[in-house]
Amino acid sequence: MGCAMTVVGVLMPRFLLLVGWSNDQAYWGSLLGSPVWLLGGFLFFPWTTFVYGIVQVNGLSFLNIVFLVAAFLLDLGTWGVGVFAGRKQVTSSYR
């Protein structure tokens, strides 16, 4: 089950960004201003980049900022799971 969650957490937002970009390249280009930002978001913060692309159409209201913060925490959780999982394995191997 853990591998399935990892695949969803790592591949799904990148797939959604790729599909969104391929459908409307002009929107994503004007939204982020540079392909470098899109590539950086694609590699490091895909959920945040995807949610920003969705909520920016209506402006950044309070609810949209809540969605952005949740997406950012999801990105951090995707990066941090490996750190904490490896820490637990090392700790249990010494006992």
Local confidence band at 69 (pLDDT 50, 70, 90 cut-offs): very high
Domain span at 85: 2-93
Domain total of the chain? 1
Can you tell me the distance from the alpha carbon of 82 to that of 16, in angstroms, rounded to the nearest whole number?
23
Report CA-CA distances (Å) from 49 to 4, 12, 16, 63, 95: 22, 13, 10, 16, 42
pTM score, whole prediction: 0.76
pLDDT-based confidence at residue 81 (cuts at 50, 70, 90): low
Task: Tell me what pLDDT residue 90 has.
Answer: 52
